[in-house]
Chains A and B, each alone.
Chain A
Amino acid sequence: MIPFVIFGLITLVFFIVRVTPSDPVSFIAGERATKEQVAELRQKWGLDKPLPIQFLIYIKQVVKGDFGISLYTHQPVMDDLMKRLPATLELTIAAMFLSILMAIPLGIISALWRNSWFDHLLRVVTIGGISIVGFWLGIILQLVFSYKLGFFPLSGRISGTAPQYITGFYVMDSVLTLNGNALLSAIKHLVLPATAVAFSSFAVITRFVRAGVLDVLRSDYVLYESAMGLPSLIIILKYVFRNAITSAVTQVGLVFAALLGGAAVVIETVFDWPGVGLFLVQSTLLADYKVILGVTVWIGFVFIAANLLIDIAQVIVDPRRVGR
């Protein structure tokens, strides 16, 4: 199943990207290039061969973990990807952390006080959260918190020099190298983009936690325990929470995968965050088809792998699922 989807994805994206009306070679060679120069480049990149042959060559490369060479940076696409991955991961993890921290308590409270004013308010807020345009929210945050108030930097990952490279995560690297200034700067740069990314995931997770808690509250064993005279605080902490969290785990995984590939792409552009998303957008504007192809396929890999991991995590959190 999974190999089929991956192969299908590569095929799909390859033909979408290659069947373009615009010719990447003449675009890159420039208007003044002679016919010979264009033909030479064409040969150099293997573009003179028929499309099916090009496809087979590409598949052979991808199997070996090679996405080819970028037409602009002249670096292997895989290297550029790996260099930018920590930035995207750092942003996504920070956003996930923020949204989970907010979503779980709010979701539980909203379920416990069902149909109260708080519940209604949160419903409106969460619908707002999935309706808001992430990149626009990012711009608003920039407008208020960096232009007007000056609390946070406008864009980028860090001011001054980056901490010594260990993991590629600036926050973690500055902790490991005991670099206090870098840590502060890295966190400050992270706050606005992470908030912009977190808003939609917060909304989705809150809705799930709420629905999960409601399901558990209606179950017979909760009724039984409260009939036995157990204090409701203990019931909630020990039984409701544990069972409600299983539905949230799936959601967290799905949201994480979605953020990694989707939301982050656009928001990285707003904050000039040097991650995979910004890389993809810049290459799109340059018509660097090798990078578009490589990054899209790679995001597909991550997405499929994430879904697989979620299925596994679900079984661990909720062993009842095995038989299903």
Chain B
Amino acid sequence: MRRSQVVLSKILEDKLALTGMLIVFSVMMVAVFAPWLAPHPQDVSQIHLTERLLAPSFKHLLGTDDLGRDLLSRILFGARVSFTIAVIAVGLCIIIGVPIGLYAGFYDNWVSSLIMRIGDIFLSVPQVVLALAIASSLGRTMENIILALSITYWPWFSNIVFAETRKVKKMVFVEATVALGATTFRTILFHILPNVLSPIIIRSSVGMGFTLLTAAALGFIGVGAPPPTPEWGITIAESRRYLPDAWWFAIFPGIAIFISVMGFNMLGDGLRDILDPRIRRGGQKAKREGEE
């Protein structure tokens, strides 16, 4: 596809987007190859009480935690946990939100307005709060966290797709396609969807970062995946009892979250400049972002 080549070459020119892409790529690689990269892969669950709370050294580059586990290894494996959560959650949001947005945007009937109002209900509470309620009543498992995050985030996708579909639908080429006898299904799938793809891609990138943050917050509060899952938010929560002496225990997982989220935000910001030239850096579109 030519368009994707153009986009790629523009990403390579934009320093911010390029840096973001490189960060995202490296963190994903870490997530995939964690068992090979980690210096002590067995440490994710193995406890060594004699080596508890050791400061960073050559043997344990980032120190050890309260159960003597190598922090670096746990952080690397944590990338797996966080990325699994974020990728599946955002994927589910796309699967739920995009068809709904396309349907509601294309048809102008009571069903479409009902769906959009239902989406508004989910947006009427900050995501952390609603996800907290869902995750706490469903119980502490990875699946429930993913469920809570996607239930609370899909309306962002349906709203954007809805607005864009409404715009595209009025364009002449859609009218022409319909006049040529294309079925509604074909019109939506092959003519409208490709034209609303850019905002979906931007939202996915920003959404990945946002989901990583919310997942960490849920873990920190104590409704995340159960221990000994090496989730970053949980690790920070565990570290609090050992402050200020075991500073490494709190600092390094936070840096891991920061780097990953920053990667997605930089990529999303750069993609917005590239894919959506009408809005340069924080125009109207970012208005919605503030609500997060």
A207–B221 touching, CB < 8 Å: no
Say whether B115 faces chain A, with CB atoms less than 8 Å apart.
no
Q: Which residue of B lies closest to A19 (CB)?
A: B137
Chain-A contact segment, one of B4-12, B60-68, B87-95, B124-132:
B124-132
Contact partner of B221 among A124, A142, A255, A284, CB < 8 A? A284
Q: Which residue of B lies closest to A135 (CB)?
A: B220
Q: Beyond A143-B247, A148-B244, is A5–B121 a contact (Cβ under 8 Å)?
A: yes
Contact partner of B291 among A123, A130, A132, A254, CB < 8 A? A254
B287–A251 touching, CB < 8 Å: yes
Say whether B181 faces chain A, with CB atoms less than 8 Å apart.
no
Q: Which residues of A contact B243 (CB under 8 A)?
A: 139, 142-143, 147
Which residues of A come within 8 Å of B, CB atoms? 1, 4-6, 8-9, 12-13, 16-22, 123-124, 127-128, 130-137, 139-140, 142-143, 147-148, 204, 207-208, 210-211, 215, 250-251, 254-255, 257-258, 261-262, 265-266, 269, 280-281, 284-285, 287, 289, 292-293, 295-296, 299-300, 303-304
Say whether B223 faces chain A, with CB atoms less than 8 Å apart.
yes
A207–B281 touching, CB < 8 Å: yes
Chain B 91-122 residues near chain A, CB threshold 8 A: 117-118, 120-122
Contact partner of B129 among A135, A137, A261, CB < 8 A? A261
Q: Which residues of B contact A295 (CB under 8 A)?
A: 129
B120–A5 touching, CB < 8 Å: yes
Per the bound structure, the CA–CA distance linking A209 and B161 in Å amounts to 27
Q: Which residues of B contact A123 (CB under 8 A)?
A: 16, 281
A136–B126 touching, CB < 8 Å: no
Say whether B136 faces chain A, with CB atoms less than 8 Å apart.
yes
Per the bound structure, the CA–CA distance linking A124 and B270 in Å amounts to 12
Per the bound structure, the CA–CA distance linking A269 and B128 in Å amounts to 13
Q: Which residue of A lies closest to B281 (CB)?
A: A211
Contact partner of B137 among A9, A12, A20, A210, CB < 8 A? A20
B221–A266 touching, CB < 8 Å: yes
Q: Report the contact-size class of chain B (Cβ under 8 Å from the partner).
A: 35 or more
B126–A20 touching, CB < 8 Å: no
A280–B139 touching, CB < 8 Å: no
B257–A136 touching, CB < 8 Å: yes
B128–A266 touching, CB < 8 Å: yes
Q: Beyond A133-B216, A143-B247, is A303–B132 a contact (Cβ under 8 Å)?
A: no
A20–B138 touching, CB < 8 Å: yes
CB distance from B81 to the nearest CB of A (A): 15
Majority secondary structure of chain B interface residues (helix, strand, loop or mixed): helix
Say whether B292 faces chain A, with CB atoms less than 8 Å apart.
yes
Say whether B178 faces chain A, with CB atoms less than 8 Å apart.
no
Say whether B53 faces chain A, with CB atoms less than 8 Å apart.
no
A258–B291 touching, CB < 8 Å: yes
Say whether B29 faces chain A, with CB atoms less than 8 Å apart.
no
Per-residue contact bits, chain B 240-251, to A (CB 8 Å; 1 contact, 0 not) = 100110010011
12 residue pairs from A and B, CB less than 8 Å apart: A5-B121, A5-B124, A12-B121, A124-B16, A128-B258, A131-B213, A133-B236, A133-B254, A139-B254, A204-B286, A269-B220, A296-B130
B125–A299 touching, CB < 8 Å: yes
Most buried by A among B120, B127, B128: B128
B117–A287 touching, CB < 8 Å: no
Q: Which 4 A-B pairs rank lowest in CB-CB distance, beginning with the nearest?
A: A136-B254, A262-B126, A147-B244, A8-B121
Q: Which residues of B contact A136 (CB under 8 A)?
A: 236, 250, 253-254, 257-258
Contact partner of A140 among B117, B126, B138, B251, CB < 8 A? B251
Q: Which residues of A contact B118 (CB under 8 A)?
A: 8
Q: Beyond A16-B133, A123-B16, A140-B251, is A5–B117 a contact (Cβ under 8 Å)?
A: yes
Chain B 267-289 residues near chain A, CB threshold 8 A: 269, 281-283, 286-287, 289
A281–B221 touching, CB < 8 Å: yes
CB distance from B289 to the nearest CB of A (A): 7
A16–B290 touching, CB < 8 Å: no
Q: Which residue of B lies closest to A262 (CB)?
A: B126
Contact partner of A9 among B16, B121, B127, B236, CB < 8 A? B121
B236–A208 touching, CB < 8 Å: no
Q: Which residue of A lies closest to B254 (CB)?
A: A136
Q: Beyond A265-B132, A266-B217, A281-B221, is A211–B283 a contact (Cβ under 8 Å)?
A: yes
Chain B 24-63 residues near chain A, CB threshold 8 A: none
A132–B258 touching, CB < 8 Å: yes
Q: Which residue of A lies closest to B117 (CB)?
A: A4
Per the bound structure, the CA–CA distance linking A139 and B213 in Å amounts to 16
Q: Which residue of A lies closest to B262 (CB)?
A: A131
Q: Which residues of A contact B240 (CB under 8 A)?
A: 139
CB distance from A142 to the nearest CB of B (A): 7
